[in-house]
Amino acid sequence: MNYRIDIGLEVHVQLKTRSKMFCGCEVRVGAEPNTLVCPVCLGYPGAMPSMNGEAVRLTVRTGLMIGSTIDGFSKFDRKSYFYPDMPKNYQISQYDRPLCDGGAVLIGDGGVAKTVRIRRIHLEEDVAKNTHFAAASGVDFNRAGTPLMEIVTQPDMHSPEEAFAFLLALKQILQYADVSHCNLEEGNIRCDVNCSVRPEGQEALGTKTEHKNLNTFKGVLNALKVESERQIAVLNRGGKILQETRRWDADTGETAAMRSKEDAHDYRYFPEPDLMPVVLAPAEIEAWRAALPEMPAVRRARLVRDYGIPDYDAGVLVADKAVGDYFEAAAKLAPNAKLVSNWMMTEMLRLLGETERDIRTVPITPAALAALVCLTESRTINSNTAKDIFAELFEQGGDPEAIVRQRGLGQVSDASAIGMIVDEAIAENIKVFDDYRNGKVAAAKFIIGQVMKKSKGKADPQLVMKLLDARVAGG
């Protein structure tokens, strides 16, 4: 029997704010445990939350990016459950009036576009981090209270690959909106994954299972592959899927039952009495809408139009907002945008990949790349020299023109200077020159090679060829 897979995601995104959701503590990774804390984010007796307006703005901004409805009235609720990473043993979250309703994210690369509908986006506070030692466990509350945006999709993804593509597209939008650092290693994006399968043609969704807190996109992909295959195998055996929470073990590549539906929490939501509802004026929402950045798909089309680069190149360049920004900055300064794009598509992305670096932190500036393109375009340097200089700039930065000048790397285009070298080479290899004159085309290569050697690679090869031919013609 053929099965259809239905996947829905809950994506938790840490927002890029200076302070926490409900107190003034700094949001920062890597500080000593329990140093970025106060009575509020530690859940001390008598402490009360004060709302971070910037977190509300960033959440609404995300909603506006994906076409959510923002009706301007929202409220917070308490979600109760006991766990040592929860300072108050309830989380301030949003139950029935999230900040953003609906919306959609487009996935698929160029060819088959597909829409994943978004159910809602709400705002809540992150929990602390537990660390387990040999004889005890420790709780670090530095993370507790970090603004956390939860994006809930409809079950619109029908393969693990689609879920993966959705996450890439969503991350791209979040980067474009500049609402999160989107650093997966630091847990900025974490997913709860819901998956069910049903026989092809069946209307109703199958019984779903959930995997919580997956913090890599590859993990989501692999867990979904294993889980959907497991569910299909169970049904094929005539078994039943149990509604449960399962744990994904990335090391063994297996999923295992963790908690059944019967053990599920009753969160006992009720309106947070310590906070007033969030009321946003239409003018404020409109001002935020007016300040939205370009969506990646729109930018891709614009790069093709404005810079005359192929659609494929544009797609690669906009995939990472910072790469796109870098390209545009360099292209504006260079005489030939296509050449800039070529450098980005080849050397830049190759080196970024090899060194696992972020384009925002590499020493080579967009201006330096543009200058390098100028030097090749004017044929001041040849392409091998340019590649060497690029590699050096990538590591150390600097001004390509200065490097060329200081080291005398400039291509020699002075006909009289090169003419002298050509004459020297002919004199030393008169027999080869005669072969060439008698029609042995390959012989020219040897002469040119000799000229390049004598000029230490600086001679313009095309000029050398021209001068050689002049000697043949001139007798």
Binding residues vs other proteins (CB under 8 A)? 39, 42-51, 78, 80, 82-84, 87-90, 139, 266, 268-270, 273-276
Q: CB of 180: closest distance to other proteins in angstroms?
A: 25
List all residues 6 or more positions away from 405 whose beta carbon is below 8 Å from its beta carbon. none
Nearer Cβ to other proteins (99/323): 99
Q: CB of 45: closest distance to other proteins in angstroms?
A: 4
What span, in angstroms and rounded, lies between the C-alpha atoms of 355 and 42? 40
Q: CB of 179: closest distance to other proteins in angstroms?
A: 23
Nearer Cβ to other proteins (73/312): 73
Q: CB of 282: closest distance to other proteins in angstroms?
A: 23
Nearer Cβ to other proteins (42/205): 42
Q: Which residues pair with 6 in a beta bridge?
A: 196
Nearer Cβ to other proteins (140/156): 140
Q: CB of 134: closest distance to other proteins in angstroms?
A: 16
Q: CB of 95: closest distance to other proteins in angstroms?
A: 11
Nearer Cβ to other proteins (145/366): 145
- Contact (Cβ atoms closer than 8 angstroms) between residue 124 and residue 151: no
Nearer Cβ to other proteins (82/185): 82
- Number of residues that this document lists for the chain: 475
Q: CB of 30: closest distance to other proteins in angstroms?
A: 22
Q: Which residues pair with 101 in a beta bridge?
A: 69, 120
- Contact (Cβ atoms closer than 8 angstroms) between residue 151 and residue 192: no
- Contact (Cβ atoms closer than 8 angstroms) between residue 195 and residue 221: no
Q: CB of 178: closest distance to other proteins in angstroms?
A: 27
Q: CB of 88: closest distance to other proteins in angstroms?
A: 5
Structure tokens at 368: 């330096």
| Cβ neighbours around 321 below 10 Å, total | 23
Nearer Cβ to other proteins (91/380): 91
Nearer Cβ to other proteins (95/446): 95
Nearer Cβ to other proteins (50/378): 50
